[in-house]
Structure formats: C-alpha cells, structure tokens
C-alpha cells in the first residue's frame, strides 16, 4: 500500500537583524500564518514527480537532478543532497501546497525546503533532528541553487512558534524564545508586490556576502561580530566595504537592543530601532528599493506607527511595521492606496 507523509512549515518575518546571519550575528524572526505543506507518497521506479496546487508539475529521475534556475531547484537540491539515503528506496510523488508569496522576503523557499525535508525525514525515517534539517536546507541553497544565504530562514521555518520571536545566535545556533507582547501592539507585514530572486541570477545578495567576507579578510577577523564600531571607525577599510561592515556591526547591536526593548515593552524604542535598521539597509547596505522606501516613509508619517523597515534579503519584498494596538487596519487602509497610486504596484497585507 502507498503510505504518505505530510509536513508543514510556516513562512517567517524577520523583526530585525538583517544580513547578519552569514556574518555570525544575531537575528529575530517570528512565524507568519502563511505556510507550505508537502505530502510525499511512494511511486514505483526511481522517478520523482512533483505537483503544486498552483498547477505546476515536473518530473525527474532520482540521481539525475539538473539545475533549472527556478523554484524546482529547491526540490531537486533536496533529493540530490540526500541521494545516498534515498537512492536505494524507490520513487516518490511530492505534492506541494503553499500560501507564502514568492520573492516577498518571507522565506517561501526555506519553508519549502523545511517542509520537504521534514516530510522526507518522516517518510524515509532518516533520523534528522531540527538543526540537521535546517543545515540541509541551507546547503540546498548554498550548494545546489547557488544562493549564499545564511541559516536564519531555515532555523526560523523549522523552529518558529507563533507569538514568540526566535532570538538566534547564528554562529553557535543557541537561541532564546522571546514572547511578543501582542496585547500592546499590532504587527503589520505588507508585500510591496516587487518580487526579488535570491539566486545566482540576481547577484546582489551574493555580492553583499562577498563584500563582508572581503571586509573580514582585510580586518583580520573571522566574522563581523568580532569587531566593534570604534575599531571599525579607526580601520582603513575602503568603501563600500566600510559601510557594509558598519551596517552589520550596528545591526547586531540593534538586535540586542530590540530584545531588551521587547522584554520591557518599550515600543517607542523598538520602533526607533526598526527605522534605524531600515535606514542602515538603505544607505549602508544598499539593499532597499524605492518602492520599499516609500512604504516605510508612508508608515513613518502615520501617527499610529512606532516604526517600519524592509524585512528579508531586500531588492524587493516586504516591510514589517509596528503599530499602536488595534490600529494596523487603519494604517493599511491609508498607506496601501497611497502607495499603489504612486507606484502602480499592487501591495498586499499579509499580517
């Protein structure tokens, strides 16, 4: 009889701590209601057939995973990395259902990797724990897809719990769960409608990572977490490496301050950190785009908003904002029409 295994992973919104994860730094993601669900069923032979509820299908043979440059590579990367354990066990059918928008900075790819790896883990009894699943997910990106991402998204989609932020040290993978005092504020996530692509076809992300690695080489350190702002100021780092490093160093500091502010329910401070993070991503890290800046500006001129920022890798995607309790619908109702009128893009509220 064909038995099947199903697993689900939610997308994430990163509250603060952007482009710190591949620098050994700290991040603060929390899950979003949107999710990806994967069901695996046995089929005869060595074929892998994939069907998504969006009507997309494709098929290949186990052990014959060739890169296509599309979302299919997340699936192929998984069976490729697990080829030794999957190879002897026969074909599979993979059914995918996802409600996470792609390219919106909300971890649609990591959720697919995590749900798929969890389902394969169950189905073939691979004995992987949650950290092993996250590390494999990151390897799919790094080694198969060619996106040199950190481990935040795979950890967040594997370990996230609603109502809590995951304060993660991406070097040691130690984490603390920080309760979100959602009775004191609303979280707002708006997709700008401008999609990014985290693959080698869009080199911006990988280029930032290379710049950070070059900065470390010149500074004689292993990770940008190993330097403070004063030492950075007196170093002889050329531009743009200096400002890239400044973003990472100050962003790490902001994550730690955000955790203190969250615990103290100091929303004014948290909002201020959101905005500072955004401005740092805009000027020092240069990963924002005009549409995202406009959404943040519209939020910041609204009296009910504590703070707003680009979330995720950038070059498109979404913003996250913190509003006064019960005011997020009102804020959305005012800023989305203004944004759409100015840009012609269709924005969507996700939380």
Identity of the residue, 40 or 117, whose beta carbon is nearer to ligand GLA in the bound complex: 117
Indicate whether 284 belongs to the interface with ligand GLA (CB under 6 A): no
Pick the piece of the chain touching ligand GLA (CB under 6 A) from 11-19, 52-60, 74-82, 116-124: 11-19
Nearer to ligand GLA, 5 or 199 (CB): 199
Give the sheet arrangement for strand 185-191, strand by strand: 305-311, 318-324, 185-191, 348-349
Closest-CA residue to 128 (of 139, 142, 117)? 117
Torsion angle of the four alpha carbons 297, 303, 309, 310, in this order, in degrees rounded to the nearest 10: -60
| Active-site residue set | 153
Residue 313 as a binder of ligand GLA (CB under 6 A): the answer is: yes
With contact defined as beta carbons under 8 Å apart, do 255 and 17 qualify? yes
Among 31, 103, 193, 312, binds ligand GLA (CB under 6 A): 312
Q: How far, in Å, CA of 173 to CA of 150, rounded? A: 12
Alpha helices in the chain, H assignment, sequence order: 72-81, 83-86, 108-123, 130-139, 152-159, 204-219, 229-234, 241-263, 267-283, 290-300, 328-343
* Pick 21 or 284: Cβ nearer ligand GLA: 21
Q: 48 vs 308, which CB is nearer to ligand GLA?
A: 308
Q: Which residues have a Cβ under 8 Å from the Cβ of 231 and sit 6 or more positions away?
A: none
Site for ligand GLA in 87-116 (CB under 6 A): none
Residue nearest to ligand GLA (CB): 313
Q: How far is CA 273 from CA 247, 253, 257, in A?
A: 13, 10, 8
Residues in binding contact with ligand GLA, number by CB under 6 A: 11
The answer to whether residue 73 forms part of the interface with ligand GLA (CB under 6 A) is no
CB of 100 to ligand GLA, least distance (A): 12
**Segment 151-190, which members bind ligand GLA (CB under 6 A)?**
152-153
150 is a site residue for ligand GLA (CB under 6 A): yes
- Of 311, 333, 72, whose CA–CA distance to 196 is shortest? 311
Nearer to ligand GLA, 92 or 281 (CB): 281
For 340, half-sphere exposure in the C-beta direction (CA atoms, 13 angstrom radius) is 13
Closest approach, Cβ 51 to ligand GLA, in A, equals 26
Q: Could you say which of 10, 19, 123, 246 contacts ligand GLA (CB under 6 A)?
A: 19
Q: What is the helix, strand, coil percentage profile of the chain, to 5?
A: 45, 25, 35
Residue selected from 5, 7, 16, 21 as contacting ligand GLA according to rule CB under 6 A: 21
Minimum CB distance to ligand GLA, residue 304 (Å): 27
Q: Does 50 bind ligand GLA (CB under 6 A)?
A: no
Q: Interface residues with ligand GLA (CB under 6 A)?
A: 14, 18-19, 21-22, 149-150, 152-153, 312-313
């Amino acid at each position: 009889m064909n038995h099947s295994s199903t697993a689900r992973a939610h997308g994430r919104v990163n509250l603060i701590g952007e482009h710190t994860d591949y620098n050994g730094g700290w991040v603060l993601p929390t899950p979003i209601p949107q999710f990806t669900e994967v069901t695996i069923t046995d089929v005869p032979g060595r074929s892998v057939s994939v069907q998504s509820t969006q009507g997309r299908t494709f098929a290949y043979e186990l052990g014959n995973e060739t890169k296509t440059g599309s979302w299919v590579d997340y699936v192929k990367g998984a069976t490729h990395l697990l080829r030794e354990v999957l190879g002897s066990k026969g074909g599979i059918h993979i059914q995918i259902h996802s409600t996470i928008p792609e390219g919106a900075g909300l971890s649609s790819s990591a959720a697919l990797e995590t749900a798929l790896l969890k389902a394969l883990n169950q189905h073939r009894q691979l004995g992987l724990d949650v950290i092993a699943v996250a590390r494999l997910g990151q390897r799919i990106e790094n080694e198969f897809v060619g996106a040199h991402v950190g481990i935040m998204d795979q950890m967040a989609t594997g370990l996230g719990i609603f109502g809590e932020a995951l304060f993660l040290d991406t070097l040691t993978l130690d984490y603390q769960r920080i309760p979100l005092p959602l009775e004191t504020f609303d979280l707002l996530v708006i997709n700008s409608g401008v999609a990014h692509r985290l693959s080698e076809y869009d080199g911006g992300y990988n280029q930032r990572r290379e710049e950070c690695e070059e900065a470390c080489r010149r500074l004689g350190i292993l990770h940008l977490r190993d330097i403070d702002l004063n030492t950075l100021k007196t170093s002889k780092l050329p531009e743009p490496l200096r400002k890239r490093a400044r973003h990472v160093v100050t962003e790490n500091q902001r994550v730690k301050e955000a955790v203190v502010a969250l615990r103290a329910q100091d929303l004014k401070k948290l909002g201020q950190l959101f905005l500072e993070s955004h401005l740092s991503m805009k000027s020092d890290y240069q990963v924002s785009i005009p549409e995202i800046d406009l959404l943040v500006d519209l939020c910041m001129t609204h009296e009910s908003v504590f703070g707003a920022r680009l979330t995720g890798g950038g070059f498109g995607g979404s913003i996250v904002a913190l509003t006064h309790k019960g005011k997020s619908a009102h804020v959305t109702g005012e800023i989305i029409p203004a944004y759409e009128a100015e840009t012609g893009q269709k924005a969507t509220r996700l939380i």
